[in-house]
Structure 1
Amino acid sequence: MRPAGDVLFWPLTSDGGYTTKSAYGFIRQRRIRTEASSSSGQQPHARFWKTLWVVDSLPRCREVAWRVAKKIVPVRRALRVRGMQVEEECPFCGMHPETIVHVLLCPVVARWWFASPMGVRFRSSDIPAYFLQQIFDQQDDHLTGLCVTFLYVIWDLRNAMIYQQKVPEFTGIMAQFSSLLSIAEEGALVRPPVENGLLARNSWTRPGEECIKINFDASWVHSAPTGLGFIARNNLAQVMAAAVAFPIDATSPIIAKALAFRWSLSLAKDLGFRTVCLETDCLQLFDTWMKAKGGDSYLFSVISDCRDLVSSFLNFSLSFVRRTGNSVADHLAKNSSKFHNSVWIEEVPPELESLIHADVIASMAT
């Protein structure tokens, strides 16, 4: 590994490289925070945003809910403020200006919410983000998925009224609602695990003969030390080595994963492995490696170190696997604080034996 030199680092992007988009986002978010602090409106907490993206509904429905909570829905009042010559009245009731709050509180829409299977009642004091947060706080996954899906149906119906002059009927609303729920349910059961066009495995598989498969991972939490995990196994699913590193400084999840990648390559080299295939559950890291682009950011500096290390092996490959196929490395990374900097040769901590056994069973079925 070549000596590391000083590099410029921009803290507002995951790879440390400056972009005008990130600078614009920083200015915009600072303005939003300033406006929020001077208003009496309640803002959703961090758990709300984390939960939103795993709600049991279609991605298109989650996106609309996110836009409502962020107040970036292109309602008529917002469009007029930006200088567009459009009618301002709500397309449902035709009596009040269409604002983001009115999207939920319009008397016509409110009746549909109450008549739906959720039986939701609105209060005049509700605001979109707070209303959604109240639903999420009930910790009822089924109810949350229903509400997020119904919100999408309302917004889709609103667009159909404006652009296609369709007249809303409650039976049609419920038919679309049921259809979306069915698609979401069927998709969860039969949809193959595809990430950005890449078919990913759900479970750990054995490498070819004379190859050592290395799974690695990093556990990153904001404002906390990062931990790294490493597990190497042969074609018989036997453990050749395992390791953890803690604490590691990383400024973002992608930087943490890249540091785990570099550390794993260095460790494999020190252990004398000659033919290796590495697996990561970080799609962004995999894409960055495959695109082979360079740059001045810290991320590309770490990736460049990895390319130098690869030359130490007779054969090398990096592949992408789902988190369920990287469970051992994930567990090691998350529990690295218990072991600090440790290396095990041909063994693992006892708590990992069940995960190792599960991988062996999974590899026999593939």
Structure 2
Amino acid sequence: MKDDKLGQPSRQSITSNLWKKIWGIKAPQATKSFLWRAASESLATNLNLHKRKVVESPLCPICSMHPESVAHALWTCSVAQDVWSMGSRRMQKLCMQDGSFKEIFMPVLIQLYPLELIEIAVTAKAVWHRRNSWLFEHDFHPAIQVSKQVLAELNSIGTWLENSEKRIKVQVPHITQWSAPPPEFFKANWDADR
């Protein structure tokens, strides 16, 4: 019989908090799913495909200098850094550390404000789409173009958030309180369905 009084390892709670933070970002579901896949190291990078013997080389298809891990593809590759350098000042000042994307991303989730987290999520996804556009369509978008796409999507998300907040406000029913009638009046309640 399992003893319920035994503690859980702290790593599990840290990871659980990471998933909660990712799923709590106010961004479209596809963007949150992408972040979850990135933090789970389940993107189809050359390193992951090489481990499964799908591709011959684990090197980054863009810079050809380092193995293409998720962290490299989305964060540390010089080509990815070109896009990140065009983001907000706080994003530009984030430290570039080695490790998995999850290890890089966890401190970022703690340091940044909710709107900045949306920017991080949208930018990471845009960097990945830029990489895939180069790899599969041989079309390499300049960093300024990717940055403009990120800004357009952030504006779209801002509009989406405003509209969803309005819908939520509209959907909240007005709560009425009972008040006594004036002294010369009577109130009668009845069920009209019966």
Q: TM-score, normalised by structure 1?
A: 0.40
Contact 2:86 2:144 (8 Å CA) reproduced: no
| Aligned-partner Cα distance in 2 for 1:124–1:139 | 17
SS at 1:63 equivalent: helix
User: Which of 115, 135, 150 is matched with 2:108 structurally?
Assistant: 135
User: Which of 14, 22, 26 is matched with 1:56 structurally?
Assistant: 26
Match of 2:188 in 1: none
Contact 1:114 1:121 (8 Å CA) reproduced: no
Match of 1:115 in 2: 86
Code of the aligned partner of 2:163: V
- State the 1:114 CA deviation: 2.7
Match of 1:91 in 2: 61
Taking only aligned residues, the RMSD between alpha carbons, in angstroms, comes to 3.2
Code of the aligned partner of 1:203: V
Match of 1:174 in 2: 147
Contact 1:116 1:174 (8 Å CA) reproduced: yes
Code of the aligned partner of 2:120: C
- State the 1:61 CA deviation: 1.8
Change (3 A) 1:170 1:84: same
% identical aligned pairs: 16
Code of the aligned partner of 2:17: R
Deviations 1:106-155 (A, max 9, x none): 12212332332221444343431122211111251122111111111111
| Aligned-partner Cα distance in 1 for 2:48–2:98 | 20
Q: Could you tell me which runs of 5 or more consecutive residues in structure 2 were left unpaired when the two chains were aligned.
A: 1-10, 179-192
Deviations 1:151-210 (A, max 9, x none): 11111111111111111301111111011101111111225999xxxxxx832479xxxx
SS at 2:98 equivalent: coil
User: Which of 193, 196, 203 is matched with 2:172 structurally?
Assistant: 203
Task: Indicate yes or no: 2:53 matched with 1:68.
Answer: no
Code of the aligned partner of 2:172: S
Q: TM-score, normalised by structure 2?
A: 0.71
| Aligned-partner Cα distance in 2 for 1:165–1:192 | 40
Change (3 A) 1:90 1:193: farther
Aligned residues: 167
User: Which of 105, 110, 119 is matched with 1:146 structurally?
Assistant: 119
Contact 1:76 1:87 (8 Å CA) reproduced: yes
Deviations 1:238-277 (A, max 9, x none): 7xxxxxxxxxxxxxxxxxxxxxxxxxxxxxxxxxxxxx9x
Change (3 A) 1:139 1:98: closer
- State the 1:87 CA deviation: 4.8
More strand by share: 1
Match of 2:3 in 1: none
Match of 1:7 in 2: none
| Aligned-partner Cα distance in 2 for 1:191–1:121 | 31
| Aligned-partner Cα distance in 2 for 1:44–1:160 | 34
Deviations 1:27-57 (A, max 9, x none): xxxxxxxxxx8xxxx9944322212112132
More helix by share: 2
Change (3 A) 1:185 1:141: same
Moved over 4 A (4+): 191-194
| Aligned-partner Cα distance in 2 for 1:65–1:133 | 12
Code of the aligned partner of 1:83: K
| Aligned-partner Cα distance in 2 for 1:138–1:85 | 37
